[in-house]
Amino acid sequence: MKRLAPSVLILAALALAALPACKTMSSEDLKASIEVLDYSSTWVSKYYQPWPPRLILVPQISFRVKNIGAKPLTYVNFNAVYQFKGDPENFGDAFRASIRSKAVKPGGTSDLIVLKSNLGVEGKNLENIKTNPEWKQAFVRLFAISKGSQPVLLGVYDVSRDIEFKEPEPVEPKK
């Protein structure tokens, strides 16, 4: 038993020494390591039905992140919280586990990340939504979170009022 004790102590010391090598990042390190690039936003169709007419548009953002830190970025999740200007409450959000085991190396840039809101604005058709007083200027707060960090605010961005949706042409009955 006495011969086993030093071996166990050595293994325990090695395990404790390896803990800092685990890929965790503090909130401050995470914020200091991410630069948002190529941000764009638009409104897209979540649901469309021609009859009875119904259309739901939701905001969607896309961006890339550049790793400006010294460590590779892995297991980074992003959360977008959408809000209309002047309204005290959020109207939608989106969460995506974007950077997984394929790390973004220092100086590298991620693939395109797209976050589409779960809620938006409803109307009968495109023209109805464009004239809907509930469809106001919106903005998004973009957060990142990683292992060992709390959510960090990467920025607040305006959401464009551009719409990426075209209603199909009406089908005329054959004569």
Q: Tens of pLDDT along 99-127?
A: 998 999 999 999 999 999 999 999 999 99
pTM over 0.85: no
- Across the chain, mean pLDDT equals 88
Rounded mean pLDDT of 35-42?
98
3-state secondary structure at position 50: coil
Q: In sequence order, what are the beta bridge partners of 163?
A: 43
* Both structure tokens of 2: 């006495």
Q: How far is CA 124 from the centre of its chain?
A: 29
- Confidence category of residue 3, pLDDT binned at 50, 70, 90: low
Q: Tens of pLDDT along 119-174?
A: 999 999 999 999 999 899 999 999 999 998 999 999 999 999 999 999 888 777 77
Domains in the chain, start-ordered, CATH in brackets? Answer: 25-164 (2.60.40.10)
Ramachandran region, residue 91 (left: φ > 0; alpha: ψ -120 to 50; beta: rest): alpha
